[in-house]
């Protein structure tokens, strides 16, 4: 990725020199840097606030309460996940992070969930149904409050950055439901292979 960006920068500079727009290119570069700094500062406040809220919820045990509250749904979505497994609380925390638009916080939590699901996975060579289900849910990124996007829009000078909430809710909720349905459908179609079937295939 670094090479791609380096190539794009070099091509842009070369094109500006050929076109005789070097001054415009330099001005645009400085303007972009200033905008990036403004957006970064906008993100600091809102990200710190919501990350703090999540940390308080985690330390106070609120995450475990939420996990118990949604346990019937968890049993339906993750049938091979034991009730007392720590992945239950971490899945709830990951969904909450995504719902608040804290995708940066949801990523390490999601990696932790996948590690926990792999520990109880009987077939280490193949992703379990729970792993596929969580991957689909996490990738869909259901968001109630797209905090990061709102902060970026505010940093860019948008008049009503909160207007993005309803469209984001509709799109991510649709993707979330479709991801769950797809995982459930493929769960019925492709059954996990047994050890004997793997040996025969080899």
Closest to 74 in 3D by CA, of 66, 121, 171 = 66
Per-domain residue ranges of the chain? 24-188
Give per-residue pLDDT as tens, 156-192: 777 888 888 899 889 989 999 999 999 888 888 876 5
**Residue 194 in this model has a pLDDT that exceeds 50:** no
Task: Report d(CA 202, CA 10) in Å as an integer.
Answer: 49
The angle, 0 to 180 degrees and rounded to 10, between the axes of the packed helices 103-119 and 129-140 is 180
Q: Model's pTM, two decimal places?
A: 0.64
Interval 194-200 mean pLDDT: 41
Task: Report d(CA 138, CA 129) in Å as an integer.
Answer: 14
- Report residue 197 as tokens: 């079937």
Give per-residue pLDDT as tens, 21-60: 777 877 777 777 777 777 777 677 767 776 777 677 767 7
pLDDT on residue 138: 86
């Amino acid at each position: 990725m670094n090479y791609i960006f380096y190539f794009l920068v070099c091509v842009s500079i070369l094109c500006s020199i050929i076109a005789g727009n070097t001054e415009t290119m330099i001005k645009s570069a400085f303007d972009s840097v200033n905008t990036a700094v403004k957006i970064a500062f906008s993100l600091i406040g809102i990200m710190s606030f919501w990350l703090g809220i999540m940390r308080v919820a985690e330390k106070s045990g609120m995450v475990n309460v939420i996990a118990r509250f949604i346990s019937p749904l968890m049993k339906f979505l993750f049938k091979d996940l034991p009730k007392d497994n720590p992945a239950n609380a971490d899945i709830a925390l990951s969904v909450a992070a995504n719902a608040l638009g804290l995708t940066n916080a949801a990523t390490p939590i999601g990696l932790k969930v996948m590690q926990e699901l792999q520990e109880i996975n009987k077939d280490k060579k193949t992703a379990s149904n729970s792993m596929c289900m969580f991957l689909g849910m996490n990738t869909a990124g259901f968001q109630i409050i797209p905090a990061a996007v709102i902060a970026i829009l505010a940093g860019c000078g948008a008049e009503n950055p909160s207007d993005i909430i309803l469209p984001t809710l509709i799109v991510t909720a649709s993707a979330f439901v479709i991801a769950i349905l797809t995982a459930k459908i493929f769960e019925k179609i492709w059954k996990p292979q047994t050890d004997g079937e793997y040996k025969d295939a080899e």
